[in-house]
Amino acid sequence: MTVGVTAGLFLFGLMILLVFKFFRGGLNVKGLLREKDVSGRFSFARAQALAVSIYAVIYYFVLVLRSDTSAMPEPPAILLGAFAASNVVYLLNKKVKSRALN
């Protein structure tokens, strides 16, 4: 079995477990996309960070499945850049919000 197939099976099993726990109520996702302040408004920064993270995971998962070598594939620089930029936006939003409260 190649690394891609083994990793793919592991990640698929993990995904099934998470989906099962989500639908059984074992994962608390209430307020996941809401601001943690008193307003509780929708948070664009959280939503974009989640969306980019999910996209990056799925993209890399497909790379792993397509890999026919015994090593894990190198993620594309653009994917890492998008992931990093997304997290920078999220962290800057948190910093601005914390300064506004002080």
Question: Tokens 């209430």 correspond to what residue?
Answer: 30
Structural domain count of the chain: 1
pLDDT of residue 23 exceeding 70, the answer is: yes
pLDDT, position 92:
94
pLDDT at residue 88 is higher than 90 = yes
For the cut 80, the answer to whether the pLDDT of residue 85 exceeds it is: yes
pLDDT digits (tens, 9 = 90+) for 46-80: 999 999 999 998 898 888 778 777 778 899 999 99
Given a contact cutoff of 8 angstroms between Cβ atoms, the answer to whether 70 and 32 are in contact is no
Report the distance separating Cα 82 and Cα 56, nearest Å: 9
Residue range of the domain that includes 35: 3-101
Collapsing DSSP to helix, strand or coil, 27 comes out as coil
